[in-house]
Amino acid sequence: MLHTLYIAGWFLTALDLIAAVVLFFSRDGGDAATRGIGRGLATLLAAIALVAAALLLWGRRDGVRPQVLILGSLVALAPVALAITLTLSRQGLGLIFASLREPKRQYLASPRYEYPDAATREAALALVLNDYKKLDALLHAAPAPNLSARDERGESLLGVATRAAIMDGGSLRDLEGLRLLLAAGARPQGDDYGREESLIEAVADAKDERRCKALEMLLDAGLNPDTPMSDGRPVLFHTRLTPEAARILLAHGVNRTVNDTRGGANDWSPVTYQAHLGNWATALVLLQSGVPRDHGSPPGSVLERVLKNLHQRSRDQDAEKAYQAFLAALKP
């Protein structure tokens, strides 16, 4: 029995030493408060292993001392038990290994649709529930919803209707709320979508028929295509600008000669920027529609430099075709 305990004690001591080596040479992770925990634990494990080894050697020296062997085995067992506990709780082990760290969840406040009057709030809820028959009745009732009112997030009814119209998984029927509000006299404004995003950039990534139709409806109703995005730049510098949305914006008179307002990129045109992002299809639509390659001197020099600095392209076949088409369009 004591011999088995002696062997088990050395086995646990060896595990402690192996764990110490792994922790000591692992990559640091975490923030300033947690960085270096791995090496600190490695040092502690090594010290525990040395203490356990000393007790085990002492317990077998000049005869067998059962109490010392038991103590040495328990000392060696303690880190193993702690490691099992940490493994069962990934949050604890995640302090050491960044790959095991659970991503932080971001909780956004749920909209309460706190409009200044009951009729406007009812209209917002009708939009959320896709109850367009009720919305139509509310728009023709007295008192009618306030089409210029804002809720606690700064969003108007037109913003709620746009959100419902472009939501993933929707259908063409979801354009009905937008149609009803525009028919009732709502006029699109840049801040209709709330404080975090402008209305124009919310619909600038339109791809399918429903989203493209929503963009067209808003522009036809008076939304200025040159409305700046939330960062102050023109919408042609939208990071997710699609070829379909670009064509619609160009057809509605968006300014083709705008430049990037960021510091150090004032000589970039929308073509330069979209090429920099690898949005070749969008860059090609802009180029073929008369948008300048760049605002450099000589013209085209900035785009040429940007293209040279692109070290990697997408392996997607469609992206590669768009890239080759873009390069072909640049040739005289």
Q: Which residue has the higher pLDDT, 188 or 80?
A: 188
- Say if CB 115 and CB 156 are below 8 A apart: no
pLDDT score for 286: 97
Residue 155, C-beta contacts closer than 8 angstroms, at least 6 positions apart:
111, 163, 192, 193, 194
Summarize the confidence of residues 233-260 as an average pLDDT: 96
Tokens at 7, concatenated: 């062997």
Q: CA nearest 55: which of 65, 45, 68?
A: 68
Per-residue pLDDT of 278-324, as tens digits, reads 999 999 999 999 999 999 999 999 999 999 887 555 556 778 888 99
pLDDT score for 290: 95
Summarize the confidence of residues 227-242 as an average pLDDT: 94
Long-range contacts of 294-303 (CB under 8 A, 24+ apart): 294/267, 294/268, 294/269, 295/259, 295/266, 295/267, 295/268, 295/269, 296/267, 300/330, 302/267, 302/268, 302/272, 303/269, 303/271, 303/272, 303/275, 303/330
Confidence tier at 30 by pLDDT (50, 70, 90): very low
Per-residue pLDDT of 63-80, as tens digits, reads 666 777 677 777 777 777
Summarize the confidence of residues 155-169 as an average pLDDT: 94
**Mean pLDDT score of the chain:** 83
